[in-house]
Amino acid sequence: MIIKRILIFIFVVFNQINSFSQSDFYDVDTVREIRVYFHQSDWDALLDSFYVLGDNDRVLADIIINGSSYDSVGIRYKGFSSASVNRIKNPFNIKLDYIIDGQDHQGIDKLKLSNVIQDPSFIREVLSYEISRKYLPSSKANFTNLYINDTLWGLYTNVESVNKSFLIDNFDSKYNAFVKCNPENLNVQISAENSNLSNTHGTDSTNYESYYSLKSEYGWTDLYNLIDTLNNFPDSLEQVLNVDRTLWMHAINYSLVNFDSYIGYGQNYYLYKDRTKQFNPILWDFNMSFGSFRLTDASQLYFNGFDIFQAQEMDPLIHHNFISVAPRPLMRNLFSDERNRKMYLAHIRTIMQENFINQDYYLRGQHFQNLIDTHVQNDTNKFYLYSDFTTNLTNQVSLVASICPGITQLMDARSTYLSSYSGYSGEPSISNISTSQNISLGDNLWITAEIFDATYARVSYRFGENQRFKNQEMFDDGIHNDGASGDGVYGCKISNCSNAIDYYFYADNDSSGVFSPVRAAYEYFSYQFGVSSGDLVINEVMSNNVSTVTDNSGKFEDWIELYNTTNFPISTHGLFITDTITNLHKWNLPNHIILPNSYFIIWADEDGSQGAEHANFKLSNFGERLILSNSDSSIIDSITYLPQLEDVSFARNPNGTGPFSMMPPTFNKNNNTTATEDIPVSSYVCYPNPFSDKLNVISDDGFFVMDIFGRIILESNHSEKIINTSSWSDGLYFVHLKGGSNTTIKLIKIN
């Protein structure tokens, strides 16, 4: 037992180190080093042939990442237009677990290296991702020097892959519908649709397979349901799409003039269906942001692309104010709602004020260029002159077929244009937020705020991250705990409150709208209080799950069932569970809502890579103590479970309130049952099991009994015997049958 705990401790500490290291690997202020050693001398010809054929096969190589070596990784080119058989410096997709299952670098199993083509400044991608991460889940990105067979190949941008690890980090799940929205063959005609979520391909989901790539085991039906709802039932769109996050995606793309995206040719984004059953858009591929890509679907007569001046003054509501040559329902149908337009422009205002008007982006751009200056000079395979690199932060650079605008040349003028755009300014103000105090579970929470120059105000709230935000309108009428009517103080009531509430504000008038906090709903306010003893209980435990139920990965793992005994929702936010009495805060439960008289399963398998419901400890099959507590260490529930037989659980009966006993498992459902006696093991040779004062043993050739320390405490040559066990200690025993069967039966003694 002591050895097991030491090993668990080492594993947890190692996992924590890995977690920190993964975030450090993408440290934006660090230049990494990656060395690739291909197994075959003609590796470049092989990669070229795979690219020409559209084959996703890979070439084997060994790799060293910042001094750490890995064998037999798989490498192919990355991207569409950024790769070419005529280029030396191509982008790379490196799969570390291509041959060796589970091989990763600090938890990272895939590397995406971009070759910085179409960007003389070298910083567009890293700077854009840094801005995007402030407002919605976005990849980390930094710089790396790539060596191939010990020859410097060049300076690359190192971008975090949008894969299942990304989903776990940002959505706490990875098994739901997950779609990459890039067509197999990009169509750059002015009427091109690509991955634009239109329904022009019909009602059969198979007709959409050449436009979208499914990254999960299922999801085509979910994707078509989103497409159908978006195009035919937009009033129901919130049921299947995170509209606020979609507005943020459009705001980032239009603010940064990132047209190699949905707003240009309907591509370069992902969709993931989260635990609230809503799809969330995820931005991808910023290498041509800040006006480097200037083709569009010609919605405003840009048939030959737009120039730098047109980029500076690109209308952020072009798909509302003008025709759409190719369908763009993810913009056009959202922008048809006036409040959506105001919220969208409020997001643009936040992006402009926090990054561009204050010149923060220019300071960050200078910092990045100073960081990589020497590395750019050493890159002999770069596509531009060193003088282009130093120039392009502020001024335009001529490319082979176009001109790449200077980043400040574009964005200073763009921030001026957007600042004067109709709907950008004139917003209400929100301040002096207040909530009622000392409430209990199920009480009403009153929220007030001073909101001036508003004609509409609301609070959006949820009790857990597995819930969508709900909207509650606020009033300044003197009857919503808001003081006097018309005094600028707005109030509203949230009924039947949980112990944790996440919330944010939105208000608008005839001119524009505003959020508080301004990065909502990615950021929000929280109100929280402790859970009382008995309201949430440990209801069932299984530490020897051999064949009862599997987790999402198909493995039979230990599990703990919590049960909400109340008539109100309970949030697990800020709660902890542990099997170590000296460490009550061993595992922090996710921000999950448990509905009244409902259950929540915790997988005790030390595998957080599977989702937020997976704890950082396992259960001992010899029995141990479990403690559920609040963040202030006050105990909500505590139990000591006994050693368990295979596929036998330790559960409350009656459900939620009764004493514990060994019984058949009732995973995620009511424990009430009469079948808690005489659990059979191995053809009824021993019964009952668990036993207390008496044990019946039947064996043709006799038997002997050992305790958990290996001591023989009873031996018999009788074929049938009733044993008085009243003096035995509670715990685990082993009955060994004599003769040719060599059968060992595990039994549990309980008082």
Residue 87: pLDDT above 50?
yes
User: What number of CA atoms fall less than 13 Å from residue 121's CA on the CB side?
Assistant: 32
What is the torsional sign of CA 503, 571, 247, 330? negative
Specify the pLDDT at position 300. 63
Question: Residue 739 — very low, low, confident or very high, per pLDDT cuts 50/70/90?
Answer: low
Instruction: Single out the residue of 510, 306, 313, 320 nearest to residue 420, CA to CA.
Output: 313
Q: What is the rounded distance in angstroms from the CA atom of residue 222 to the CA atom of residue 234?
A: 16
Mean of the per-residue pLDDT values for the chain? Answer: 90
Range 105-109 average pLDDT:
93
- pLDDT tens per residue across span 347-399: 999 999 999 999 999 999 999 999 999 999 999 999 999 999 999 999 999 88
Structure tokens at 408: 């400040």
> Are 564 and 442 a contacting pair, CB within 8 Å?
no
Specify the pLDDT at position 23. 52
Model-level pTM?
Answer: 0.87
Fold match, 429-528 / 686-749:
yes
CATH number of 429-528: 2.60.40.10
Instruction: Single out the residue of 133, 169, 244, 172 nearest to residue 464, CA to CA.
Output: 172
Burial letters for 375-388: b for 16+ Cβ neighbours within 10 Å, e otherwise?
A: bbeebeebbbeeeb
Q: What is the rounded distance in angstroms from the CA atom of residue 628 to the CA atom of residue 536?
A: 9
Question: To which residue do tokens 């509430």 refer?
Answer: 501
In 399-477, where does DSSP find H-type helix? 407-419
Q: How far is CA 79 from CA 8, 116, 195, 284, 486, in A?
A: 41, 12, 16, 11, 57
CATH classification (class only), 686-749:
mainly beta
- pLDDT tens per residue across span 226-249: 999 999 999 999 999 999 999 999
Specify the pLDDT at position 735. 79
Residue 289: phi and psi, rounded to 5, are: -75, 180
Strand runs (DSSP E) across 517-641, as ranges? 525-528, 536-542, 558-564, 570-571, 576-578, 587-588, 593-594, 599-604, 624-629, 635-641
- pLDDT tens per residue across span 637-680: 999 998 888 899 999 999 999 999 888 899 999 998 654 444 43
Give the start-to-end residue ranges of the domains of the chain. 124-133+164-419, 429-528, 536-663, 686-749
Structure tokens at 238: 């919130």
Q: Which residues pair with 706 in a beta bridge?
A: 712, 734
> Are 636 and 531 a contacting pair, CB within 8 Å?
yes
Question: Residue 685 — very low, low, confident or very high, per pLDDT cuts 50/70/90?
Answer: low
> Are 87 and 48 a contacting pair, CB within 8 Å?
no
Topology classification of domain 536-663: Immunoglobulin-like (2.60.40)
Residue 694: pLDDT above 90?
no
- Which of 5-19, 122-136, 362-376 comes out lowest in average pLDDT? 5-19
Specify the pLDDT at position 672. 85
Question: Residue 734 — very low, low, confident or very high, per pLDDT cuts 50/70/90?
Answer: confident
- pLDDT tens per residue across span 479-492: 999 999 999 999 99
- pLDDT tens per residue across span 246-294: 999 999 999 999 999 999 989 999 999 999 999 999 999 999 999 998 8
Instruction: Single out the residue of 382, 391, 370 nearest to residue 31, CA to CA.
Output: 370
Residue 4: pLDDT above 50?
no
